[in-house]
Amino acid sequence: MKYSTEQMDNYYINLSKGIVKTSGIMNYIQHLLIAQSCLNSENVLEVCCGRSLIFPLLQRYSKINSYLGVDISKANLEEAKTLITSYDIIDYSFKYQFLQGDITQLSTFIHEEFDIIIYTSSLEHMSKTDGITSIIEINKILKKGGILYLSTPCSENNIIQYKYHIYEWSYNDIKKLLNQNNFILIDEIGLLPSDNFNFPEIYNKKFGVGCELWLSDLKNKMPQEFITPILSASVPEFSKEVLFICKRL
């Protein structure tokens, strides 16, 4: 098997049914954060887009010029097109298109450059070799100064690897991969804490004594499904999934 085409849960459907998963809140947060950052009439490419759960958020919170979603799975793209018609949005404010294609061959069928490339929760669904190739291909079609949003699990903070993940990168290896391929890291955001994450100890060391009391109070007043991804945001080095925000040099 070259790739796993297994998709993340549809958090819109789950929430409408009263099902609240920490992973769903994590994905909602990262997609909303990315959408709210697209405010300058950008041309956006989402690779391994799946059912494109970010799509309605781009309509409501961004000011992009165009969107292209690419996925290797025809079934995933058909689901994305079906979902678009179900969001109760009469007219989208940006041009959009979906293409079936292989991320390791992007430059062979995409002949334009993009301001922003979104690559979330997908790198781990391919081999290490294909993962490296995907970053090389992204570098070819992202404009100089363009932004890459890349999220993926970090193996050293993840005790149990999800069964559909083919290869999980370490936190330092993925930063090295980005650096070797003409990307400079602008920011990194923890999305899920490691399985043995000691919140009070880590926050006290990083932000000072007193954080433990605040964390304890917050955890008592907020549902775990919401607070877990939020608390990991400021400590990506201790997170088992991280959003890397990078600029192409």
195 pLDDT tier (thresholds 50, 70, 90) = confident
Residue 4: per-residue pLDDT: 58
Distance CA(54)–CA(212), nearest Å, equals: 34
* Percent of the chain whose predicted confidence (pLDDT) is above 90: 71
Contacts of 133 (CB under 8 A, 6+ apart): 104
At 93-118, the pLDDT tens digits run 899 999 999 999 999 999 999 999 99
Cα→Cα distances 43→48, 60, 138, 247, Å: 17, 16, 14, 15
Q: Which pLDDT belongs to residue 2?
A: 61
Mean of the per-residue pLDDT values for the chain?
91
**The pLDDT value given to residue 3:** 58
φ, ψ of residue 50 to 5 degrees: the values are 60, -130
Q: Could you tell me if 104 and 10 are in contact, meaning their C-beta atoms sit under 8 angstroms apart?
A: no
- CA-CA distances (angstroms) from residue 189 to 15, 19, 83, 186? 24, 25, 28, 10
Would the pLDDT of 6 be above 90? Answer: no
22-117+131-149 belongs to CATH 3.40.50.150: yes
- The pLDDT of residue 116 is 98
Residue 187 has pLDDT above 90, yes or no: yes
Q: Domain-by-domain residue ranges, the chain?
A: 22-117+131-149, 150-194+220-241
Report the percent of the chain where pLDDT is more than 70: 94
- pLDDT band per the 50, 70, 90 thresholds, residue 1: very low
Confidence tier at 200 by pLDDT (50, 70, 90): confident
Cβ atoms 66, 44 nearer than 8 A? yes
The three-class DSSP label of residue 127 is coil
Does 157 score more than 60 pLDDT? Answer: no
